[in-house]
Amino acid sequence: MAIRNIRLEGDEILKKKSREVEEIDDKLQILIDDMIETMHQYNGVGLAAVQVGILKRVIVIDIYDDNGPIVFINPIIIETKGEQEVDEGCLSFPNQFAKVIRPAEVIAEYTDRNGKRMRVKAKELLAQAICHEVDHLNGEVFMDKIIPGTLEYIEPEKED
């Protein structure tokens, strides 16, 4: 496993649409493991493959609820319900946070890393994370959706 470089604000790849995964092979499994490790290294809740420079429809999410990370291959949001105003940030936009309107609930279908087609009904943080990461796969970033006037830059803590 390895920590991958995260593509940052201004990188053209973040605006590109990711391609469907055709085959779940060893190379994809390595990518998934690296993505999980990279997400944890930077204390992220989610990470899309495009954020590490790979235009494949793969996302990993960990809401730190003792269930461990979830791997979504070719995810599709099939239903949304309600809305929630949430504070959001992104590993590709370090130290920047803003308010965004997201669905309160989503139902998503995806393939897991073992090739099994799955369905999840998600609320709150998990619903928010799924929407945020699926946006990445479609070439959209949270900065495209922020509520005007809510963007904040948090100065990183200096290391001694």
Known catalytic residues are 133
Q: What is the DSSP string of the chain?
A: --PPPPP-TT-GGGGSPPBPP----HHHHHHHHHHHHHHHHTT-SEEEGGGGT--BSEEEE--SSSS--EEEEEEEEEEEES-EEEEEEETTEEEEEEEEEE-SEEEEEEE-TTS-EEEEEEEHHHHHHHHHHHHHHTT--GGGSBPTT--EEPPPPPP-
* AA letter at 40: H
Q: Which residues pair with 71 in a beta bridge?
A: 60
CA distance 132 to 69: 16
